A and B are shown apart, each in its own frame.
Chain A
Amino acid sequence: MDGVAQLQKQLVDFTDSLFQEGFLDEQFNQLQQLQDESNPDFVVEVVSLFFEDSERLLNELAKALEQKTIDFRKVDAHVHQFKGSSSSIGAQRVQKVCIAFRNYCEEQNIEGCLKCLQQVKLEYSLVKNKLETLFKIEKQLIAAGGSIPT
Protein backbone atom coordinates (compact mmCIF):
# COMPACT_ATOMS: atom_id res chain seq x y z
CA MET A 1 0.00 0.00 0.00
CA ASP A 2 2.83 2.33 0.88
CA GLY A 3 4.39 1.90 -2.55
CA VAL A 4 1.14 2.75 -4.29
CA ALA A 5 0.47 5.79 -2.13
CA GLN A 6 3.99 7.02 -2.76
CA LEU A 7 3.67 6.61 -6.51
CA GLN A 8 0.31 8.33 -6.50
CA LYS A 9 1.80 11.27 -4.65
CA GLN A 10 4.72 11.33 -7.07
CA LEU A 11 2.30 11.39 -9.99
CA VAL A 12 0.16 14.17 -8.56
CA ASP A 13 3.19 16.28 -7.61
CA PHE A 14 4.83 15.82 -10.97
CA THR A 15 1.66 16.61 -12.89
CA ASP A 16 1.09 19.72 -10.78
CA SER A 17 4.61 20.92 -11.51
CA LEU A 18 4.03 20.56 -15.25
CA PHE A 19 1.01 22.83 -15.02
CA GLN A 20 2.73 25.31 -12.74
CA GLU A 21 5.77 25.55 -15.00
CA GLY A 22 3.51 26.13 -17.98
CA PHE A 23 4.44 22.99 -19.86
CA LEU A 24 0.83 21.89 -19.92
CA ASP A 25 -2.45 23.75 -19.78
CA GLU A 26 -6.16 23.06 -19.22
CA GLN A 27 -6.45 21.36 -22.59
CA PHE A 28 -4.41 18.44 -21.26
CA ASN A 29 -7.05 18.00 -18.56
CA GLN A 30 -9.68 17.81 -21.29
CA LEU A 31 -7.72 14.95 -22.84
CA GLN A 32 -7.46 13.08 -19.56
CA GLN A 33 -11.21 13.42 -19.09
CA LEU A 34 -11.79 11.75 -22.44
CA GLN A 35 -9.95 8.65 -21.25
CA ASP A 36 -12.08 5.90 -19.74
CA GLU A 37 -12.13 2.15 -19.17
CA SER A 38 -13.10 1.48 -22.77
CA ASN A 39 -10.09 3.52 -23.94
CA PRO A 40 -7.52 3.43 -21.14
CA ASP A 41 -4.62 4.47 -23.36
CA PHE A 42 -6.27 7.39 -25.06
CA VAL A 43 -3.94 10.08 -23.73
CA VAL A 44 -0.82 8.08 -24.57
CA GLU A 45 -2.20 7.43 -28.07
CA VAL A 46 -2.96 11.06 -28.79
CA VAL A 47 0.34 12.26 -27.38
CA SER A 48 2.19 9.67 -29.47
CA LEU A 49 0.43 10.99 -32.56
CA PHE A 50 1.53 14.45 -31.53
CA PHE A 51 5.15 13.31 -31.18
CA GLU A 52 5.08 11.74 -34.65
CA ASP A 53 3.53 14.80 -36.25
CA SER A 54 5.87 17.17 -34.46
CA GLU A 55 8.99 15.37 -35.52
CA ARG A 56 7.84 15.44 -39.11
CA LEU A 57 7.00 19.15 -38.87
CA LEU A 58 10.33 20.02 -37.28
CA ASN A 59 12.14 18.26 -40.12
CA GLU A 60 10.08 20.11 -42.70
CA LEU A 61 10.75 23.40 -40.95
CA ALA A 62 14.50 22.82 -40.83
CA LYS A 63 14.50 21.93 -44.53
CA ALA A 64 12.39 24.92 -45.50
CA LEU A 65 14.65 27.30 -43.61
CA GLU A 66 17.79 25.88 -45.21
CA GLN A 67 16.67 26.81 -48.71
CA LYS A 68 18.52 29.54 -50.58
CA THR A 69 15.26 31.31 -51.17
CA ILE A 70 12.97 30.77 -48.22
CA ASP A 71 9.29 30.23 -48.90
CA PHE A 72 7.88 31.96 -45.85
CA ARG A 73 4.35 30.91 -46.64
CA LYS A 74 5.42 27.29 -46.50
CA VAL A 75 7.25 27.85 -43.22
CA ASP A 76 4.19 29.63 -41.83
CA ALA A 77 1.91 26.79 -42.89
CA HIS A 78 4.06 24.28 -41.00
CA VAL A 79 4.22 26.48 -37.90
CA HIS A 80 0.46 26.97 -38.06
CA GLN A 81 0.00 23.21 -38.03
CA PHE A 82 2.43 22.80 -35.17
CA LYS A 83 0.64 25.52 -33.22
CA GLY A 84 -2.66 23.77 -33.80
CA SER A 85 -1.59 20.34 -32.65
CA SER A 86 0.39 21.60 -29.68
CA SER A 87 -2.60 23.61 -28.49
CA SER A 88 -4.83 20.57 -28.93
CA ILE A 89 -2.85 18.54 -26.43
CA GLY A 90 -2.15 21.45 -24.11
CA ALA A 91 1.57 21.88 -24.82
CA GLN A 92 1.42 25.53 -23.86
CA ARG A 93 5.07 26.52 -24.11
CA VAL A 94 5.43 25.01 -27.57
CA GLN A 95 2.29 26.82 -28.66
CA LYS A 96 3.62 30.15 -27.38
CA VAL A 97 6.84 29.84 -29.39
CA CYS A 98 4.78 29.01 -32.48
CA ILE A 99 2.87 32.27 -32.10
CA ALA A 100 6.11 34.27 -32.06
CA PHE A 101 7.41 32.15 -34.93
CA ARG A 102 4.42 33.05 -37.10
CA ASN A 103 5.01 36.74 -36.49
CA TYR A 104 8.57 36.41 -37.77
CA CYS A 105 7.28 34.56 -40.83
CA GLU A 106 4.91 37.39 -41.55
CA GLU A 107 7.79 39.85 -41.28
CA GLN A 108 9.92 37.51 -43.41
CA ASN A 109 12.59 37.82 -40.75
CA ILE A 110 15.06 34.98 -41.35
CA GLU A 111 17.04 35.46 -38.18
CA GLY A 112 13.89 35.59 -36.08
CA CYS A 113 12.65 32.41 -37.73
CA LEU A 114 15.88 30.55 -37.16
CA LYS A 115 15.89 31.61 -33.54
CA CYS A 116 12.32 30.43 -33.12
CA LEU A 117 13.14 27.13 -34.75
CA GLN A 118 15.81 26.52 -32.14
CA GLN A 119 13.44 27.57 -29.39
CA VAL A 120 10.57 25.43 -30.57
CA LYS A 121 12.88 22.42 -30.90
CA LEU A 122 13.98 22.97 -27.33
CA GLU A 123 10.49 23.42 -25.92
CA TYR A 124 9.29 20.40 -27.83
CA SER A 125 12.04 18.15 -26.48
CA LEU A 126 11.40 19.45 -22.96
CA VAL A 127 7.69 18.71 -23.06
CA LYS A 128 8.30 15.37 -24.74
CA ASN A 129 10.63 14.42 -21.93
CA LYS A 130 8.17 15.55 -19.28
CA LEU A 131 5.28 13.64 -20.84
CA GLU A 132 7.36 10.48 -21.21
CA THR A 133 8.25 10.71 -17.54
CA LEU A 134 4.59 11.24 -16.66
CA PHE A 135 3.56 8.14 -18.57
CA LYS A 136 6.37 6.14 -16.96
CA ILE A 137 5.14 7.01 -13.46
CA GLU A 138 1.57 6.14 -14.48
CA LYS A 139 2.75 2.77 -15.74
CA GLN A 140 4.64 2.09 -12.51
CA LEU A 141 1.58 3.04 -10.51
CA ILE A 142 -0.66 0.70 -12.44
CA ALA A 143 1.91 -2.10 -12.25
CA ALA A 144 2.01 -1.64 -8.48
CA GLY A 145 -1.73 -2.19 -8.40
CA GLY A 146 -2.74 1.42 -8.04
CA SER A 147 -5.01 3.52 -10.18
CA ILE A 148 -4.48 6.94 -11.66
CA PRO A 149 -6.13 9.59 -9.45
CA THR A 150 -8.71 11.56 -11.41
Chain B
Amino acid sequence: MSSTNTENWMKDIGVLDLTGVGGGSTSAAKKITALVVDDDSVNQTIHSKMLENLGIQNQVVRNGKEAVDLHSSGNNFDLILMDMDMPVMNGIEATRKLREMGVRSIIAGVSTCTRDEREQKEFMESGLDDFQEKPLTTPKLVSILHKLNKKC
Protein backbone atom coordinates (compact mmCIF):
# COMPACT_ATOMS: atom_id res chain seq x y z
CA MET B 1 0.00 0.00 0.00
CA SER B 2 2.75 2.44 0.94
CA SER B 3 4.67 1.82 -2.30
CA THR B 4 1.61 2.81 -4.32
CA ASN B 5 1.43 6.04 -2.37
CA THR B 6 5.09 6.71 -3.10
CA GLU B 7 4.52 6.19 -6.80
CA ASN B 8 1.41 8.37 -6.83
CA TRP B 9 3.15 11.15 -5.04
CA MET B 10 6.17 10.93 -7.32
CA LYS B 11 4.02 10.92 -10.48
CA ASP B 12 2.23 13.90 -9.06
CA ILE B 13 5.32 16.03 -8.77
CA GLY B 14 6.83 14.71 -11.97
CA VAL B 15 9.92 12.91 -10.75
CA LEU B 16 8.78 9.41 -11.64
CA ASP B 17 9.55 8.48 -15.20
CA LEU B 18 6.87 6.02 -16.16
CA THR B 19 8.57 5.10 -19.41
CA GLY B 20 11.40 3.65 -17.36
CA VAL B 21 12.04 -0.06 -16.94
CA GLY B 22 9.56 -1.88 -14.77
CA GLY B 23 6.75 0.63 -15.38
CA GLY B 24 6.49 2.65 -12.23
CA SER B 25 9.48 1.19 -10.46
CA THR B 26 10.87 3.77 -8.07
CA SER B 27 14.40 2.94 -9.16
CA ALA B 28 13.64 4.93 -12.31
CA ALA B 29 12.92 8.01 -10.22
CA LYS B 30 15.48 10.67 -9.52
CA LYS B 31 16.76 9.99 -6.01
CA ILE B 32 15.73 12.86 -3.80
CA THR B 33 17.89 13.47 -0.75
CA ALA B 34 16.97 15.12 2.52
CA LEU B 35 18.52 16.25 5.78
CA VAL B 36 16.62 16.17 9.07
CA VAL B 37 17.91 18.73 11.57
CA ASP B 38 16.33 18.18 15.00
CA ASP B 39 17.61 17.68 18.53
CA ASP B 40 14.74 15.46 19.64
CA SER B 41 15.21 11.74 19.05
CA VAL B 42 11.47 11.06 18.80
CA ASN B 43 11.11 13.63 16.02
CA GLN B 44 14.29 12.46 14.31
CA THR B 45 12.92 8.92 14.12
CA ILE B 46 9.49 9.97 12.89
CA HIS B 47 10.67 12.46 10.27
CA SER B 48 13.30 10.08 8.98
CA LYS B 49 10.74 7.28 8.62
CA MET B 50 8.28 9.55 6.82
CA LEU B 51 10.96 10.49 4.31
CA GLU B 52 12.03 6.88 3.94
CA ASN B 53 8.46 5.78 3.26
CA LEU B 54 8.25 8.36 0.49
CA GLY B 55 11.40 6.88 -1.04
CA ILE B 56 13.64 9.74 0.03
CA GLN B 57 17.17 9.02 1.09
CA ASN B 58 17.84 10.97 4.27
CA GLN B 59 20.35 11.79 6.97
CA VAL B 60 19.78 13.06 10.48
CA VAL B 61 21.77 15.59 12.54
CA ARG B 62 21.13 16.97 16.00
CA ASN B 63 21.64 20.68 15.64
CA GLY B 64 22.31 23.58 13.28
CA LYS B 65 26.07 23.36 13.59
CA GLU B 66 26.14 19.71 12.49
CA ALA B 67 24.02 20.70 9.51
CA VAL B 68 26.40 23.51 8.56
CA ASP B 69 29.44 21.26 9.02
CA LEU B 70 27.92 18.62 6.73
CA HIS B 71 27.54 21.23 4.01
CA SER B 72 31.02 22.62 4.61
CA SER B 73 32.44 19.20 3.92
CA GLY B 74 30.75 19.15 0.55
CA ASN B 75 27.42 17.43 1.15
CA ASN B 76 24.28 18.67 -0.48
CA PHE B 77 20.60 17.82 -0.13
CA ASP B 78 17.47 18.58 -2.12
CA LEU B 79 15.48 19.18 1.04
CA ILE B 80 16.32 20.25 4.57
CA LEU B 81 13.83 19.88 7.41
CA MET B 82 14.99 22.44 9.95
CA ASP B 83 13.80 22.48 13.55
CA MET B 84 13.92 25.85 15.27
CA ASP B 85 14.90 25.25 18.90
CA MET B 86 18.16 23.37 19.08
CA PRO B 87 21.25 23.58 21.25
CA VAL B 88 24.63 24.82 19.96
CA MET B 89 23.13 26.47 16.87
CA ASN B 90 19.40 26.98 16.38
CA GLY B 91 17.35 26.83 13.18
CA ILE B 92 17.40 30.56 12.52
CA GLU B 93 21.18 30.83 12.73
CA ALA B 94 21.71 27.63 10.78
CA THR B 95 19.39 28.66 7.95
CA ARG B 96 21.09 32.04 7.70
CA LYS B 97 24.50 30.43 7.62
CA LEU B 98 23.52 27.91 4.97
CA ARG B 99 22.09 30.62 2.73
CA GLU B 100 25.27 32.66 3.19
CA MET B 101 27.20 29.59 2.09
CA GLY B 102 25.14 29.57 -1.08
CA VAL B 103 23.02 26.55 -0.26
CA ARG B 104 19.97 26.59 -2.53
CA SER B 105 18.16 23.53 -1.23
CA ILE B 106 14.55 23.76 -0.15
CA ILE B 107 14.73 24.55 3.54
CA ALA B 108 11.48 23.91 5.39
CA GLY B 109 11.24 25.17 8.93
CA VAL B 110 9.47 22.69 11.17
CA SER B 111 8.59 23.95 14.60
CA THR B 112 6.14 23.68 17.44
CA CYS B 113 3.57 26.46 17.45
CA THR B 114 5.52 29.42 18.69
CA ARG B 115 3.65 31.94 20.75
CA ASP B 116 6.29 34.36 19.55
CA GLU B 117 5.20 35.59 16.12
CA ARG B 118 8.30 37.72 15.86
CA GLU B 119 10.48 34.64 16.19
CA GLN B 120 8.52 32.81 13.51
CA LYS B 121 8.90 35.81 11.19
CA GLU B 122 12.63 35.89 11.90
CA PHE B 123 12.80 32.20 11.07
CA MET B 124 11.05 32.71 7.73
CA GLU B 125 13.26 35.68 6.95
CA SER B 126 16.44 33.75 7.70
CA GLY B 127 15.88 32.04 4.35
CA LEU B 128 13.13 29.43 4.62
CA ASP B 129 11.17 28.29 1.59
CA ASP B 130 8.36 26.90 3.69
CA PHE B 131 7.22 26.54 7.27
CA GLN B 132 5.21 23.73 8.79
CA GLU B 133 3.93 23.46 12.33
CA LYS B 134 4.90 20.41 14.27
CA PRO B 135 3.95 17.67 14.51
CA LEU B 136 4.90 16.84 10.96
CA THR B 137 2.56 14.53 9.07
CA THR B 138 2.97 12.79 5.73
CA PRO B 139 0.50 15.18 3.98
CA LYS B 140 2.46 18.20 5.30
CA LEU B 141 5.65 16.64 4.04
CA VAL B 142 4.13 16.04 0.60
CA SER B 143 3.10 19.70 0.40
CA ILE B 144 6.71 20.70 1.11
CA LEU B 145 7.86 18.33 -1.62
CA HIS B 146 5.58 20.01 -4.16
CA LYS B 147 7.73 23.09 -3.66
CA LEU B 148 10.75 21.01 -4.59
CA ASN B 149 9.22 20.22 -7.94
CA LYS B 150 8.42 23.86 -8.61
CA LYS B 151 11.98 24.89 -7.84
CA CYS B 152 13.34 22.25 -10.23
Which one of B1, B42, B45, B53 has the highest number of Cβ atoms from chain A below 10 Å of its Cβ? B42
Check B42–A27 contact: CB distance below 8 A: no
A143 near B: Cβ within 8 Å?
no
Task: Report which of A34, A77, A89 forms a contact with B42, defined as CB distance below 8 A.
Answer: A89
* B 1-38 to A, binary, CB cutoff 8 A, 1 in contact else 0: 11000000000000000000000000000000000000
Check B112–A80 contact: CB distance below 8 A: yes
The DSSP consensus for interface residues of chain B is: helix
Closest to B85 in A: A80
A144 near B: Cβ within 8 Å?
no
Check A84–B137 contact: CB distance below 8 A: no
A42 to B53, CA, bound (A): 12
Task: Report which of B43, B49, B85, B112 forms a contact with A34, defined as CB distance below 8 A.
Answer: B49
Closest to A84 in B: B112
Closest to A25 in B: B135
Check A85–B43 contact: CB distance below 8 A: yes
- Note all chain A residues with C-beta closer than 8 A to B85: 77, 80
Closest to B50 in A: A34
Task: Report which of A30, A36, A45, A80 forms a contact with B45, defined as CB distance below 8 A.
Answer: A45
Check B40–A85 contact: CB distance below 8 A: yes
Check B2–A36 contact: CB distance below 8 A: yes
- Note all chain B residues with C-beta closer than 8 A to A83: 112
The DSSP consensus for interface residues of chain A is: helix
B41 near A: Cβ within 8 Å?
yes
Closest to A46 in B: B45
- Note all chain A residues with C-beta closer than 8 A to B41: 49, 53
Number of interface residues of A (CB under 8 A): 23
- Smallest beta-carbon distance B51→chain A, Å: 10
Check A88–B53 contact: CB distance below 8 A: no
Task: Report which of B2, B40, B46, B49 forms a contact with A53, defined as CB distance below 8 A.
Answer: B40
Check A39–B135 contact: CB distance below 8 A: no
Check B138–A30 contact: CB distance below 8 A: yes
Q: A39-B49, A85-B40 are in contact. List 17 more A-B contacts (CB 8 A).
A: A31-B46, A33-B138, A34-B46, A34-B49, A34-B50, A36-B1, A46-B46, A49-B42, A49-B45, A80-B85, A84-B40, A84-B112, A85-B43, A87-B112, A88-B43, A88-B135, A90-B135
